[in-house]
Amino acid sequence: MNARHQGTRPEHLVEGSRQELAFQVHEPDAAALERPVLLLHGFASSSRLNWSDAGWLSALADAGRRVVTVDLPGHGSSPAPDELDEYSPSRIRAELLQLLADVGVRPYRAEDPASGVDLIGYSLGARLAWEFGGAQPQLVHRMVLGGPASHDPLADFDLAAAQQFLADGTPIADRSTQELLRMAQLVPGNNMFALMSMVQAIKAEPFTPTEAVPKMPLLLVAGEQDELASTMPELARLSGRADVVWIPGRTHADVVTSRAFKKAAIAFLAS
pLDDT digits (tens, 9 = 90+) for 22-65: 999 999 887 667 899 999 999 999 999 999 999 999 999 999 99
Residue 6 has pLDDT above 60, yes or no: no
Rounded Cα gap, residues 179 and 22, in angstroms: 27
CATH architecture, range 2-7+16-270: 3-Layer(aba) Sandwich (3.40)
**Position with higher pLDDT, 33 vs 254:** 254
Range 198-204 average pLDDT: 96
Residue type for position 208: T
Residue type for position 15: E
Band of the pLDDT at 7, cuts 50, 70, 90?
A: very low
Rounded Cα gap, residues 203 and 100, in angstroms: 26
Residue 203 has pLDDT above 70, yes or no: yes
Mean pLDDT of the chain: 93
In this structure, are residues 235 and 130 in contact, taking their beta carbons and an 8 Å threshold? yes
Rounded Cα gap, residues 27 and 50, in angstroms: 18
List all residues 6 or more positions away from 87 whose beta carbon is below 8 Å from its beta carbon. 73, 74, 81, 194, 197, 198, 200, 201, 202
pLDDT digits (tens, 9 = 90+) for 225-240: 999 999 999 999 999 9
User: H helices of the chain, where?
Assistant: 47, 56-62, 89-102, 124-135, 159-168, 175-186, 192-204, 232-239, 259-270
Q: What is the DSSP letter of 128?
A: H
| Every domain of the chain and the residues it spans | 2-7+16-270
Rounded Cα gap, residues 262 and 60, in angstroms: 8
pLDDT digits (tens, 9 = 90+) for 13-34: 666 567 789 999 999 887 667 8
